[in-house]
């Protein structure tokens, strides 16, 4: 289990080929799911209040970030429908 932090625009002190995986920690939230679409990938994170956040990354750069989903299927649906 690895721990990652970001500055809001990119993951800090991370090599380009190193990507967070399920059960890693990103910005204090546990990664509960991950999906890849081409060069981009989505991390679905469990917030402290029980909601789900989604970070969309291209290598180490955060290109999208939406929080407050009530459940994982809702967050995944938004990612699949390009709503994030």
pLDDT exceeds 90 at position 33: yes
Q: Which pLDDT band, with edges at 50, 70 and 90, does 77 fall under?
A: very high
In this predicted structure, what is the pLDDT of residue 7? 94
- The answer to whether residues 52 and 62 touch, using CB atoms and an 8 Å cutoff, is no
pLDDT attached to residue 17: 78
Q: What is the pLDDT of residue 39?
A: 87
Query: Which two structure tokens, joined as six digits, stand for 48?
Result: 């402290």
How many angstroms separate the CA atoms of 61 and 9, rounded? 6
The predicted structure's pLDDT at residue 83:
86
């Amino acid at each position: 289990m690895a721990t990652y932090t970001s500055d809001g625009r990119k993951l800090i002190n991370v090599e380009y080929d190193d990507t967070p995986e399920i059960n890693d920690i990103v910005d204090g939230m546990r990664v509960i799911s991950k999906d890849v679409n081409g060069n981009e990938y989505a991390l679905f994170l469990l917030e402290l209040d029980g909601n789900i956040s989604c970070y969309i990354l291209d290598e180490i750069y955060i290109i999208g970030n939406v929080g407050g989903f009530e459940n994982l299927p809702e967050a995944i649906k938004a990612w699949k429908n390009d709503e994030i």
